[in-house]
Amino acid sequence: MEAEQIRKIYEAMNDNGFNSIELELGDDHKIRMQLDNAPVWDSANDAPPEAAEHENGVLSTQVEIRSDKVGSFSFAERQLKAGDHIKKGEILGSIKGISFQDRVKCSLDGTIASVEVEPGTIVDYGRLLFVVNID
C-alpha cells in the first residue's frame, strides 16, 4: 500500500468520524488502522453522515455490508430481516460463483437496519447487501 493510499484512507476516516477501520482481504490478510485522536463533533449538525440519532438521543453508526465477489447470494442458517441482532464474526450468507463460495460475515455486533438482497439474487462486486446499526 502506498503512502498516498494510506493518506486517503486517513482523510476519509477523519472526515466521517471514524477512529478505527479494519479491512479483511481474504481469510489470511487483515489490515487495521486506528487514529490516535478521534474526531470530536460539536453538534448534531456536524455529525458524520453515517450517524443517526435514536429516540433517547444517543448516536448510532450504520455500516454497509457490500459484496466483494460476483455470484449468487444465499442466506446462511436464517433469512435475516430488519431488527435481527447479529454478532461479530457471524456468517450472514454466502456468494457462490463458478469456482468458489465466499462467506459474508459481519465484523461488529449490531442490528440489521435493512436487507437489500433476496436469496438467489445475482450480485456484482460492490453491491449493497445489508445496512447494520452498530451496537
The structural domains of the chain, with segments of one domain joined by +, span: 1-40, 49-135
Contact 132/113 with Cβ under 8 angstroms? yes
Neighbours of 44 (CB within 10 A): 10
Given CATH 3.30.465.10, say whether it is the number of domain 49-135: no
Q: Using the 8-state DSSP alphabet, how is residue 46 labeled?
A: G
**What sign does the CA torsion over 70, 64, 29, 13 have?**
positive
Which pTM value belongs to this model?
0.57
Q: Is the pLDDT of residue 74 over 90?
A: yes
Cell numbers given for 109: 455486533
Q: Is the pLDDT of residue 64 over 70?
A: yes
| 69, amino acid identity | K
pLDDT computed for residue 56 by the predictor: 53
The residue with cell 446499526 is 133
pLDDT computed for residue 78 by the predictor: 87
pLDDT digits (tens, 9 = 90+) for 3-15: 677 777 777 777 7
